[in-house]
Amino acid sequence: MVTVLNHPLITHKLTFMRMQETGHKDFRENLDEIASLMAYEVCRDLPLKDVEITTPMAECTSQILDTEVILVPILRAGMGLVDGIMDLIPTAKVGFIGLYRDEKTLEPVEYFAKFPKELPEGVCLVLDPMLATGGSAIAAVDMIKKRGAKNIKMVCLVGAPEGVKAFTEAHPDVDLYLAALDDHLNDIGYIVPGLGDAGDRIYGTK
């Protein structure tokens, strides 16, 4: 399932992220706020369990989350989505995948992996602002599936149609959430209109 979260607040904040004159501080702040808004929708189907509680008025049955949530940012740019989601799910655990895209081949190259032990039982939210060719997202989901992850959602900010096609063909069992579906990839693998290089814009490199 592919869900494009066409929400006015998300679209408004994303417009400021796209503008080339937006500096890294404002870019990061808008990304953080969008991450929280996306988390609200992405977590809509998390499982709940009954608990017996006592309010000031009476005993009753109420519900709390019945799963570990594991955030898996793809380094570097995926880190930009972590804090905004953590604001809503402060008990979330975090695993890390280090991948970069080789600038010539556009193939993802793995350089780091570290996950909490609950990875196989939890709901894993794999985070990366950009889904361009889809190579990095596909490799990241391959990596956590190999380590036993079963319940996986892929959360991206901007996707290209080429990346959406590749990802959904490679991992038809993984729900994909986007804040926006853009027009196309250019000949060096950048999303158009996109927002440029997300990692560089978050961290002020280049």
Residues lying near ligand URA in the complex (CB under 6 A) = 77, 130, 132, 189-191, 194, 197-199
DSSP structural state of residue 139: H
Query: Applying CB under 6 A, which of residues 134, 155, 158, 201 lies at the interface with ligand PRP?
Result: 134
Identity of the residue, 72 or 132, whose beta carbon is nearer to ligand PRP in the bound complex: 132
Radius of gyration of the chain (CA): 18
Identity of the residue, 176 or 191, whose beta carbon is nearer to ligand URA in the bound complex: 191
Angle at CA of residue 5, ends 4 and 7, nearest 5°: 140
Q: How many CA atoms lie within 13 A of 168 on its CB side?
A: 14
| Distance in Å, CB of 58 to ligand URA, minimum | 53
Query: Applying CB under 6 A, which of residues 13, 127, 199, 201 lies at the interface with ligand PRP?
Result: 199
Identity of the residue, 115 or 167, whose beta carbon is nearer to ligand URA in the bound complex: 167
**What contacts 24+ positions apart, CB below 8 Å, involve 114-118?**
115/70, 115/72, 115/144, 115/147, 116/68, 116/70, 118/68, 118/70, 118/93
Identity of the residue, 120 or 189, whose beta carbon is nearer to ligand URA in the bound complex: 189
| Distance in Å, CB of 203 to ligand URA, minimum | 11
User: Which of ligand URA, ligand PRP, none binds 190 (CB below 5-8 Å, type-dependent)?
Assistant: ligand URA
- Check the CA dihedral 52-55-58-61 and report its sign: negative
Residue 95: both structure tokens together: 């695993």
Identity of the residue, 92 or 195, whose beta carbon is nearer to ligand URA in the bound complex: 195
Listing DSSP states for 67-120 in one string gives S-EEEEEEETGGGGGHHHHHHH-TT-EE-EEEEEE-TTT--EEEEEEE--TTTT
Cα 103 to the center of its chain, rounded Å? 22
The 142-181 contact track toward ligand PRP, x by CB under 6 A, reads ---------------------x------------------
Match 């793809």 to its residue by tokens. 74
Q: Which stretch binds ligand PRP (CB under 6 A): 9-17, 23-31, 50-58, 72-80?
A: 72-80
Query: Which residues contact ligand PRP (rule: CB under 6 A)?
Result: 74, 76-77, 100-101, 106, 108, 128-137, 163, 189, 197-199
